[in-house]
Amino acid sequence: MVVAGTPVDNNLLKYKLRDISISQIIYLCSMIFNEDIANTTAKFLLQIKAVKLNPDKPFTWTSGIISPIYCDNRITLSFPTIRTYIRQQFAQIIMEEFGIVDLIAGVATAGIAQGALVAQELGLPFVYVRSTQKQHGMENKIEGRIEAGKSVVVIEDLVSTGKSSLAAVDALREAGCNVKGMVAIFSYDLDISRENFKKHDCKLITLSDYNILVQRAAEENFISKKDIEALIAWRENPKKWGR
């Protein structure tokens, strides 16, 4: 097991990029905004151990996918410098890619804090979308003041298959909102997520993604050559990996 944030022994592994083609994990049509932001974000996630890599004892997602990588971006909230960086990059992306918007929406639960920070940065109203409708009180699925016809950008911390993220988009559209797109900190960049966002006609832009993070981890000796091979194999076929 190699946990991100704990560099491997260079003398033992002597891992060099030429030993294995990192281009194997580069895919066209990346959802990242630009490589500089993607690399900086990946560096931050590795430094604070928001990313855990464990091919020997993989993680099981709620979707049932077995994965050698787990990312918890909520940890970024505990680091003011990183938290500020993410907030500012989100704000920049929204202004450049989506223009004028009326509202920022966060996806519960991890997207709530990030979304509120971005709304504050842009001076915009904020709401958040529950995963399920509340079973008491007003029985809301969307918390906060919302009006039909308003343009919205959705904030998410992490995109895996896209199912839960897009459920929030559907809820906002059902409320009459014009969802301009979604911005997330990180994406596993799975084919199924691309398909799901395309089906929902929802633009997704991320600060960083799986491919950039693995490259960064390799270059800075956070992971071994063996781990790289496992990570590439998982990315090529997540449903069958580890079974």
pLDDT given for residue 147 in this prediction: 93
pLDDT given for residue 200 in this prediction: 96
Structural domain count of the chain: 1
Examine residue 158 and state whether it is found in any structural domain, yes or no.
Answer: yes
Question: What separation in angstroms does the CA of 206 have from each of 17, 59, 68, 116, 141?
Answer: 25, 23, 21, 17, 25
Per-residue model confidence as pLDDT tens digits over 3-56: 333 333 333 333 333 344 443 434 334 689 999 999 999 999 999 999 988 888
What's the predicted TM-score (pTM) here? 0.85
pLDDT given for residue 30 in this prediction: 63
Residue ranges, the chain, pLDDT below 50 = 1-29, 135-138
Examine residue 183 and state whether it is found in any structural domain, yes or no.
Answer: yes
Q: Is the peptide bond before 81 cis (omega within 30 degrees of 0)?
A: no
pLDDT given for residue 54 in this prediction: 83
Cα(104)–Cα(177) distance, rounded to whole angstroms? 11
Name the residue range of residue 138's domain.
10-236
For the domain that residue 57 is a member of, what is the CATH number? Answer: 3.40.50.2020
Examine residue 177 and state whether it is found in any structural domain, yes or no.
Answer: yes
